Amino acid sequence: MVSETAIGAVDLTQIIDIDRNTNFRQADELLVRELEKTRREIVKFRKENKLTWHEFNDMTSMQLVPSIINSKFGHLGGVSEVKKLLELLQ
């Protein structure tokens, strides 16, 4: 389900990584293909419009949402959950 505040949504081709930069790059690339823009244009658009990628608990879905909204909900999502699980296993 796509949030009403989402500007875009993608399903990653591989499982979400614990490195958010890797996930953001992959999501940007998928949006590049969908919108026929360059990665530079997508990154610039994200920064100018204060948008961030939100990682879902399903470990593949990501939505482009306003950073201000995403920050209010903490970091419950794919990466946070994987990191917490890894901490428990140590």
**Which domain does 30 fall in, by range?**
8-89
- State the helix-helix crossing angle for 20-35 and 78-89, rounded to 10 degrees: 150
pLDDT in tens, 40-84: 999 999 999 999 998 887 878 899 999 998 887 765 666 776 777
Q: Is the pLDDT of residue 87 over 80?
A: no
Q: Is residue 57 part of a domain?
A: yes
Q: Is residue 15 part of a domain?
A: yes
Q: Is residue 81 part of a domain?
A: yes
Q: Quick check: 39 and 24 in contact, CB under 8 A?
A: no
Q: Is residue 2 part of a domain?
A: no
Residues linked to residue 54 through DSSP beta bridges, in sequence order: 63
Q: Is residue 3 part of a domain?
A: no
Give the pTM: 0.76
The CA angle 85-86-90, to the nearest 5 degrees, is 120
As a whole number of angstroms, the distance between CA 66 and CA 42 comes to: 14
Q: Is residue 29 part of a domain?
A: yes
For the chain, how many structural domains are there in total? 1
Q: Is residue 1 part of a domain?
A: no
Q: Quick check: 64 and 27 in contact, CB under 8 A?
A: yes
pLDDT in tens, 6-25: 888 888 877 677 788 888 99
| Residue 31, pLDDT score | 94
Q: Quick check: 12 and 71 in contact, CB under 8 A?
A: no
